[in-house]
Structures are given as C-alpha cells and as structure tokens.
Structure 1
Amino acid sequence: MDKFRTAKDTLGEVQVPVDVYYGAQTQRAVENFPISGLRLPPAFVKAQAIIKASAASSNKQCGALDAKKAENIIQAAEEIIEGKWLDQFVVDAYQAGAGTSQNMNMNEVIASRASELMGGEKGDFSIVHPNDDVNMSQSTNDTIPTAIQLSIADQLHNVLYPAIDQLIAQLDEKEGEFHSVVKAGRTHLQDAVPIRLGSEFKGYKGAVQSVKKSLKHAEKSLYELGLGGNAVGTGINAHENYAKLAIQELAKRTDLPYVQSENTYSFMQNTNAAIRISGHLKELAVHLIKISSDLRLLSSGPRTGLAEISLPAVQPGSSIMPGKINPVILENLYMICSQVIGNDTCVTTAAIGSQLEINPMMPVIGYNVLQSITIISNGMKVFTEKCLKEIKANEENITKWLDQSLSLVTALNPHIGYEKAAAIAKESFETGKMLKEILVEKGIFTSEEAEKILDPKNML
C-alpha cells in the first residue's frame, strides 16, 4: 500500500508519496498536467542544478544566504549534476507556463535533500526552504531560459558536434574513395552532364559543413545570459553583485564563456538563442533528407532501379517478399529529420507566444530543441556507422547508364552548336542509336574524333 505524507504550500495541504524529495507544488503539477508522460531531459535538469549551485554560491558570497545552508544546497545540487535523483523530476514537458512547476520541482528536491543533509527529514522545509533559500535572488522567468541555453550548449558540444564531425569525416572518405568513378549526372531527375561519384559526396559534405559553421555562429548567442533579471528583468530582491558572481560560477562549472547579457529585459522577453539553434537544426534536417533521398534513389533496384551504389544489408526488408532488402537506415534518418522540422515549427509557434515581459511557452521550446539535438545526433551516428561506411559503387551499372546518357551531347555544343547537337540527341533518342554512331554515320566526325569529344572524363 502506498504511503503518503502531508505537504503544504500557499494553497493548502497536498498528499505526497512519503519517499520522494519533492513537495506540494510539484505534486500539484503532476496532478494538473497528466499530458504526455514526457519529461524535460537530463541535460535540462543538470543545467537547472548548475544554476541553483551557482546561485547559492553567489548568494553566500554576497552575504545574503547562510553559509551552512548554501554549502548543503550546493552539495544537493551537485548530486543532481552527477546524475542522482533524476527520478524525482516528474513534471510533464507540457506544464504550467514559463516552467514554474519545473523550477519548483528543482527547488523542492534540492531543499528537501539539503535539509536531509543537515539532519532533517525529506520535505522538512523549515530547515532549507525551496523559495526563500534555494530560489533566492531568482525567478522562474530568468532561470528557465538560462537552463534552456545551458542545456543546449552542453548538448551541442557533447552530442551534436561529435556526430556531425563523424559524418563529415566519413563523407570526406567516400569522396576520395569514389573520385575516379565517373557517372551520369542528373538534374530534374533527367540525364545531365557527367560528374564524379565522389563529387556527389563532396556536395553532401559541403552542405553539412555549412550547417555546422552556422551553428557555431549561432552558438555564441547561447552565452549571453539574463540570470539575475529575476521576475521581469529588473533584478528585484537580488544583491547588486549577485548576477555577476552567479554567471562567473556558471562559466567555471561548465567551462564555457557565459557572460551577463547587456539587456536582461530582451533576454527574458524573447528566446532568441533557442530559435536560432532550432532553425539551424531544421536546416541540417533538410540537407540530411536530401542525402538520404539521393542514396535511396541511387541504390534503387537491385534489378529494376538505378543500382549505381549498394547499401549494406542490415535487416530483412519484407514480411512477405523473401530476400528483399530495404534502405531502412536511410528511411529512419528521413523520419527523424521530419520530426526535427516539426519540432522547429513548434518552437517557432511557441516563440510567437512571448508577451510583454516573458515567454510563458518556454518549457516546450526547451523540450523540442533538446529532443531535436538528441534524435538528429543519434540518427547521424547510425547512418554513418551502419550505412555510409559500407556504401559500394556498382561501376558496371554506372558505366551502363553513363554510356546511354543523352546529355553527353552537351560536349558537341562548341563544335556544331546547340541546335545541331539537340537534333543529334533527338535522333539518338528516337532511334536508340548511340551518339557516336550517328555522328560517324553523318560524317560529322571520325570515330576517333567522336570518341575523344564524347569521352566523359573530358567533361568533368
């Protein structure tokens, strides 16, 4: 039988499971928002704990917080930073506006744990108080956007960039591996002038490199923090040195260049940094969809499609057709990227919800950007390791399609002009004869001349 204790807040008494660290406000949020079962991820919780530890350190230095309380708040926060007590953060991602429930969940857990460290019981807020002590000099309105930016920066460096770099390195390797393979180019899905297979992979590499460059530029906006703005940006109830000291501690704990925003009002009214990062994640998703779609098309077949490349077989492709192998890794990547594009739409819509002094839609903004980073990073890693590394060129098919490409006729333009070249191409299409054959039959070129002019390698 479940056991409960009675917890209190300004609205009255609430029954809370006896073995949890959180209190009445968290329990109310659990009961009020049984929406999705989704939670803000561990990276966000870690960022919140870093903020609480930094705030306690700053308040101690400013003489606003009792040293013993501060030390135990910091210890409790550091336990969370290390990954303990994650099961105590139970508020749904779709919760009260601005993230007040999320902020109070953190405040209550840290206060309860700090009280326990000081000899009290779980939920004994008479020793360390969630609002008066843990939340001192803070508000949901400045800590939640700060946590969004801290957690995004953490995930960029530890999750996204490594996955991007691994993908770029493998695309670079494929560019070199396929450099000597000349194939038919295609524009509008129609025959076009020749291209190296390696050059197609060079194009993919360049697109991913470009997005990383944009992300690195947008990343700079994550380091300007309005922590200390408190409720509306004025810094009410905070010591004049609090923000500077707290942000210095944040920078020290994360080893990232966080600084005070020059405009706390703008920081709290908007979610600029998250919007920018989300937009570049969408851009990355668009490029990855293009790559996955190209590779599915180039590997189509194996007998009735282009079949210019072969993908590694990772699992059976059909429950009814024996021996069928599908491009499942590429399909998986497409689905992931579709979700990332949808997440950006959600972030954009939520950002529009900013009104007057704050954006009350911050929890869903944080959740979607962090989810996008997680899934697109994992998708790129799986694609790189289980598909891209093992792609092979089917040179026999490549040569077959190249020899039949009518766009080789483009090389004739400088010799006989566009209109005559177009007539040769039309005749080749209608009769099924090769371009070289028609040119020789009509006495336009000798066999050797036609061979030289139509050599695909001379068109690269």
Structure 2
Amino acid sequence: MSSTRIERDAFGPVEIPADRYWGAQTQRALGVFDIGEERFPASLIHAFGLQKMAAARANMRCGALDAALADAIISAAGELRDGGFDAHFPLTIWQTGSGTQTNMNANEVIANRANELLGQPLGTKSPVHPNDHVNASQSSNDSFPTVMHIVTVLELAQRLKPSLALLRDSLQEKAEAFEDVLKIARTHLMDAVPMTMGRVFDTFARQVAHGIDRIDAAMPRLLSLPQGGTAAGTGLNAPPGFDALFCEELRALTGHAFTPNPSKFEGMAAHDALVEASGALNVIATSLIKIANDVRWLGSGPRCGLGELKIPDDGLTSSIMPGKRNPTIAEVLAQACMQVVGNHAVVTMANASGNFELNVAKPVLIANLLQSIRVLADASRVFATGLVQGVEVEEARLAANVANSLLLATALNPVLGYDKVASITAEAVAKGITPREAALSLGLIDGETYDRIVDARKMAGR
C-alpha cells in the first residue's frame, strides 16, 4: 500500500500522507508556513468541531445542505469535537492572519471523515466537499473569529473559573482559620500597626473573587458571534436567518447563551471583546503575583527570614544545600502570571493590527489568550492545593513580633500627641528597649494607663 495519496485542488495535484485526514490546502500550507513549533491547543480544534456541527445543522434547517450530507458532516465534526482528530492538525499558529489555513484544515478533515463514513476513500471530496458542504454559508473570516469566541467562553467557564473558585475558597478558609491570629502589618516594607493574619488572607480571597467577577463582566461580548458575516461582514452566500439558527444550534450543543452579533462587520474587523477578556486575565495575573510574593516573603526563613507563615513541604530541595526548602509553587505561579502579562501585550497589539474590514492577526491573538487561560487555571489550582490549603502560621514568631513592635505606641497619639509618641519610639530604638519601657523611662505615662490604651488586639479591630 502506498504511503501517500494524491489530492487535487484549484492549483493541481498534491501528495499527502495516506493516513492523514487533512487535504490539499493544509498540505500546501505546511510547505508555505515552515515557521516555529507553536500549535493551537486541542481546545481550539475541538471548538472547530462545535462550530462545524452547528453550521451543518443550521444549513440543513435553511435548506442549504442535503440531510444525508449534513448528517455525515455532523457525525465527523462531532468526532473532531471529542478529540478524535487532534493529530490531524499539523499547522502552527504562524499562518495567514485570518486563520484560513486552520479553517480549511478543519473543513478537509471533516470532509474526508464524512466521506469515509459514507463508504468513500480519503481524498475523493465526494459526496462531501470541504468548501461546498463543510464550509457552506461560511467564510474563514467569520468562522475563525466565531471559534475564537467559542473556545474562549468554554475555556473561561470550564477551566479557569473553577480553578479560581478553588483558590478563592482555599484562601477564604485560611482567612477564617487565622481570624484571631495577631501580626504586625507592614507598609513600605516596614513595621506598621497590628492586624490579623486572617485579614491578610481575606484580602487575597477578595482579589481572586473580583477576578472572577471581571471574567463574568466580559462574557456578554464574548457570547456575541460574527458567524453569518461571510465575506467582509456582508453575509454573502449565507441564507437568511442562518446566523440565528447557528447560534440556536450552538446553544443546544454547549449550554451557553450565544447570540448573533448585530454587526458582523464589527465582529470580524476587530476583536475588542477578546482584548477585554485578556485584560481581565491581566488583572488577575497581577493580583496573583502580589499574593504569591506576599506568601513567600511571609514564609521566608525558616530561621533567618520573616518566618510568619509555614509553607508546606513540596518534597523538593536544593541541589547543593541538603534539606533546604523553597517556595517553589509560589514561584511558579508568579512565573505563569508573568507570561500572562506578556501575552496581554501581544493580544493588545494583535487587535490593534486589523485593516479595514478584517483583523489579520487572529491566530497569534487567540493562541496567546488561550495560553493565558490555561496557565492561570493550572497554576491557580496547584497553588491552592499544593500551598494554600497546607499553609500554617508560626504563632510564636507572630506573638514575639507583636510584643516587640515600636508602632504599638501609635495608640498613644490621642493622649500624648504625635511629637511625644515620636520621642517614645526614638528612645526605644536608641536604647533597644520596648516602647512601653521607653514611655515609662521618659515619664510620659504610667504603666497601667499604657497597658489600658496600648492593646494590640483592640488596635487590630478584634
């Protein structure tokens, strides 16, 4: 048996590996775009399966596609959605800015599989043709951005939001567990007034919760689809009502409330909704970097650092210092978030690079956005389960810090005034004594009054 087969397109014959389901246009693109190794994640390929299923169903309802052909296309596209053809998408993201090559890759794989289901060999283009039937009522110009929206919605809803919810809940559990544990706050990296460790973790939990809210706020624009715009947003060759039927079928397939974009021109020429979503991820990334850094600083030590938190052991150590434990999970979360911040810059520039009626940087835009979703989701989950859920407080260290804090004397301001309290802290620093000892040695207040006013727990609002 030959290891290759011949397929033909408008430009002539093309030799294709015999066991591959892609066709002539994909094979030609492999030769033209020999750039890089970065490929779309499987989630985007699966979203193409959903898009082609919904299109075939809508075409059948519009009378634009014979039922027998539509059924074969729907079956083949369903296999694509379920991951059956991931290995048959060989192109990198470095292709034409409309994503045409990956759309054609999907059309060819589905057409070949549909024909196979109908008893025909690969490469026949009959009875199912990749352009005439699988791509019926569509263009790459509206199908690829529609897939961009579909995959973003699904990945945000199914991958990122559950991970962030897990992290939020894990942080909130620690906020409640540490509710009454006193510590010294720090501003400008320096000692400040008393607070509780519970408030630290409550702040973290609220940051993550606001991140989830930002994702939800971006969803309405993501659910609006340009499908039906075909060439330049005009709707050429799409039957009337195709866009509404497409969204109806897609809602049935996904459970998400997709609707037709009333301006297909806007949905194809610009991808502001995707930049908005990336912006939400950018905010989340900065929140998580702050959280990761605070946790690893608070856990620094164990003997010569701040040592206020006890970071759970991850089983990893130094290559030279036996038994050394490092906050590796916090570090990897920070690195993942740095990638997201960089990706947002690419997404921003990609969206700004459209020309007239078509954005022509779609592949790099969606590839970076999907990577951001993926690494944020995975890193958040690992941070929640591998670090936050096991973190403990070093109560003895915290108590010693509170007892030795200079700024406890701040509570005396209403009684003694700022200048006299400043002399107390200066005396304490100069002589290496506690502020209580300094206040008494200066004769500014008696011990009983000092103890009544300077109560760390009350100062922390407990």
Question: Does the CA contact (< 8 Å) of 2:275 and 2:347 recur in 1?
Answer: yes
Distance change >3 Å, CA 353–CA 200, structure 1 → 2: same
1:294 aligns with 2:294: yes
Following superposition of structure 1 onto structure 2, how do residues 113-132 of structure 1 map, counting pairs within 5 Å? 113-132=113-132
1:423-458: CA deviations, max 9, x gaps? 211121121111101111222222121122222112
> Alpha-carbon deviation of 1:277?
0.8
1:411 aligns with 2:428: no
State how far apart, in whole Å, the 2-side matches of 1:435 and 1:353 are.
61
SS in 2 for 1:136: coil
State how far apart, in whole Å, the 1-side matches of 2:310 and 2:225 are.
49
Question: Does the CA contact (< 8 Å) of 2:261 and 2:267 recur in 1?
Answer: yes
SS in 2 for 1:7: strand
State how far apart, in whole Å, the 1-side matches of 2:162 and 2:214 are.
16
Question: Does the CA contact (< 8 Å) of 1:26 and 1:105 recur in 2?
Answer: yes
- Structure 1, gaps ≥5 residues long: none
State how far apart, in whole Å, the 2-side matches of 1:10 and 1:348 are.
36
**Aligned AA for 1:36?**
G
> Alpha-carbon deviation of 1:97?
1.6
State how far apart, in whole Å, the 2-side matches of 1:275 and 1:186 are.
35
Question: Does the CA contact (< 8 Å) of 2:424 and 2:442 recur in 1?
Answer: no
1:109-133: CA deviations, max 9, x gaps? 0111111111111111132111111
Distance change >3 Å, CA 257–CA 178, structure 1 → 2: same
Give the alignment's TM-score, normalised by structure 2: 0.97
1:252-298: CA deviations, max 9, x gaps? 11111111111111111111221111111111110000001001110
Question: Does the CA contact (< 8 Å) of 1:44 and 1:148 recur in 2?
Answer: yes
> Alpha-carbon deviation of 1:63?
1.4
**Aligned AA for 1:341?**
V
Question: Does the CA contact (< 8 Å) of 1:110 and 1:134 recur in 2?
Answer: yes
**Aligned AA for 1:194?**
P
Question: Does the CA contact (< 8 Å) of 1:59 and 1:136 recur in 2?
Answer: yes
Residue 242 of structure 2 corresponds to 242
What is the number of residues matched between the two proteins? Answer: 460
1:294-317: CA deviations, max 9, x gaps? 011101111111000110111232
State how far apart, in whole Å, the 2-side matches of 1:364 and 1:303 are.
47
> Alpha-carbon deviation of 1:386?
0.8
State how far apart, in whole Å, the 2-side matches of 1:34 and 1:374 are.
26
1:388-425: CA deviations, max 9, x gaps? 11111001111122222222121111111112111211
**Aligned AA for 2:94?**
Y
State how far apart, in whole Å, the 1-side matches of 2:303 and 2:26 are.
60
1:272 aligns with 2:248: no
State how far apart, in whole Å, the 2-side matches of 1:399 and 1:57 are.
67
Residue 144 of structure 2 corresponds to 144
Residue 439 of structure 1 corresponds to 439
State how far apart, in whole Å, the 1-side matches of 2:376 and 2:214 are.
16
Residue 455 of structure 2 corresponds to 455
> Alpha-carbon deviation of 1:58?
1.3
**Aligned AA for 1:234?**
T
State how far apart, in whole Å, the 2-side matches of 1:318 and 1:185 are.
31
**Aligned AA for 1:127?**
P
> Alpha-carbon deviation of 1:353?
0.8
Residue 375 of structure 2 corresponds to 375
Question: Does the CA contact (< 8 Å) of 1:182 and 1:197 recur in 2?
Answer: yes
Question: Does the CA contact (< 8 Å) of 1:279 and 1:344 recur in 2?
Answer: yes
> Alpha-carbon deviation of 1:2?
7.8
Question: Does the CA contact (< 8 Å) of 1:76 and 1:113 recur in 2?
Answer: yes
Following superposition of structure 1 onto structure 2, how do residues 108-257 of structure 1 map, counting pairs within 5 Å? 108-257=108-257
State how far apart, in whole Å, the 2-side matches of 1:315 and 1:34 are.
42
State how far apart, in whole Å, the 2-side matches of 1:362 and 1:126 are.
31
State how far apart, in whole Å, the 2-side matches of 1:416 and 1:396 are.
31
Residue 26 of structure 2 corresponds to 26
> Alpha-carbon deviation of 1:13?
2.2
Question: Does the CA contact (< 8 Å) of 1:29 and 1:96 recur in 2?
Answer: no
State how far apart, in whole Å, the 1-side matches of 2:197 and 2:11 are.
68
- Structure 2, gaps ≥5 residues long: none
State how far apart, in whole Å, the 2-side matches of 1:241 and 1:153 are.
23
Question: Does the CA contact (< 8 Å) of 2:425 and 2:438 recur in 1?
Answer: no
Question: Does the CA contact (< 8 Å) of 1:186 and 1:192 recur in 2?
Answer: yes
Residue 326 of structure 1 corresponds to 326
Percent sequence identity is 39
Query: Bigger CA drift: 31-40 or 287-296?
Result: 31-40
State how far apart, in whole Å, the 2-side matches of 1:55 and 1:158 are.
23
Following superposition of structure 1 onto structure 2, how do residues 345-384 of structure 1 map, counting pairs within 5 Å? 345-384=345-384
SS in 2 for 1:16: strand
**Aligned AA for 1:250?**
L
Give the alignment's TM-score, normalised by structure 1: 0.98
Residue 89 of structure 2 corresponds to 89
**Aligned AA for 1:431?**
K
Following superposition of structure 1 onto structure 2, how do residues 423-438 of structure 1 map, counting pairs within 5 Å? 423-438=423-438
Residue 49 of structure 2 corresponds to 49
> Alpha-carbon deviation of 1:90?
1.4
**Aligned AA for 2:408?**
L
State how far apart, in whole Å, the 1-side matches of 2:301 and 2:246 are.
60
**Aligned AA for 2:378?**
N
**Aligned AA for 2:104?**
M
SS in 1 for 2:230: coil
Query: Bigger CA drift: 145-154 or 55-64?
Result: 55-64
**Aligned AA for 1:254?**
T
State how far apart, in whole Å, the 2-side matches of 1:328 and 1:77 are.
42
Residue 309 of structure 1 corresponds to 309
1:221-257: CA deviations, max 9, x gaps? 1111110000111100111121111111111111111
SS in 1 for 2:195: strand
Residue 78 of structure 1 corresponds to 78
Query: Bigger CA drift: 92-101 or 190-199?
Result: 92-101
SS in 2 for 1:97: coil
